[in-house]
Structure 1
Amino acid sequence: MTEKPLPQAPTRPEETSPEPHFFRRLHTRMHANPVTGLATKVVVTVVGIAVILAGLVMMVAPGPGIVAIILGLAILSTEWSWAERALDRAKEAAHNAAEKARNMDPKVRQRRLVASGFGVVLVFAAVTTYVVLYGWPKLAIAGWNWVQGLSGVVPELPGM
């Protein structure tokens, strides 16, 4: 894996980094000693990967998954050049998606919103029909009973 070179003091004002001077000094100071440099790299890597994994979970669960993935890449990019390149690609993709959404024909946007709403209603109707015809799934009941065992404030399921 390629490491980012240690930041050098800028020679001209136009070469200054966009990150604040404090963070450049802190990064240089942390990497001046091999032990603190390694510890910093390990901690930043663990935290960055944890944030990315949380973002991946949020892609299927409620939450700002894309934002968390980009934040994780930003954390990793402080130590790894491959993460900086991936962050640049992610920023570019996010910018392109936002631009595409801004330039979308209003009629197409309206059709997509109506189709999405119809899909939500269709899934809700299918789940409701399943529950009415077959009752609560056994897995859901077993899971709810397990949650109730963890905490006494969880209410009983309706009809149980």
Structure 2
Amino acid sequence: MHAESDERGDVVVPTTVKSTGELTEEPPERALGSRAPGFIKGSKTLHMSWQVGVFVVGLAVVGVGVVLLPLPGPGWLIIFGGMAIWATEFVWAQLVLRWTRRKVTEAAQKALDPKVRRRNIILTTVGLVIMAVLAGIYLWKFGFVMPWKIDQ
């Protein structure tokens, strides 16, 4: 992908045409690379130490997110937070976050499409009706009795 840079060093994303026909300009993307302060980048040893520290902190945050995936908690949110920490230093993490942001934006745009919204509402309604029918059959057959017996 070829893009020009503006005076701030940000990448200027070309204007796109939405499905509605209107022109929109996407926000500029930041340049790839380390976002460490200048005095840290000046020393190779200090910069390497900084990168190791960022990697360890990001790894800890991603690890907590992975642990929270099967448990109650915001696992994916924490994992993306760890990826954002990594993205302050590592180009590969910046590219992963750009790809993820692009896919989430596409999914949000697709979800706002009237046809997709109508389909989702219909599927949700059908699912709720099926659940209500199953609950009604259960109550008709067994009454309001729990399916397990608790001896008191």
TM-score scaled by length of structure 2? 0.55
Secondary structure of 2:37's match? helix
Correspondence for 2:25: none
| 8 Å CA contact retained: 1:55, 1:69 | yes
Distance 1:45 1:112 in 2: 43
Unaligned runs of 5+ in 1: 1-10, 136-158
1:110 is the counterpart of 2:104: no
Q: What letter is aligned with 1:55?
A: G
Deviations 1:58-105 (A, max 9, x none): 433333333322222221112111111111111111112212222253
Superposition RMSD in Å: 3.6
1:97 paired residue number? 107
Paired-residue identity, %: 24
Distance 2:53 2:61 in 1: 12
Gapped regions of structure 2 (runs ≥ 5): 12-28, 139-145
Q: Of the candidates 37, 53, 58, which is equivalent to residue 47 of structure 2?
A: 37
Match of 2:48, SS state, is helix
Q: Do the aligned partners of 1:54 and 1:68 also contact (CA within 8 Å) in 2? A: yes
Moved over 6 A (4+): none
Q: Does residue 1:52 correspond to 2:55, yes or no?
A: no
Richer in helix (by share): 1
How much does 1:32 deviate? Answer: 1.7
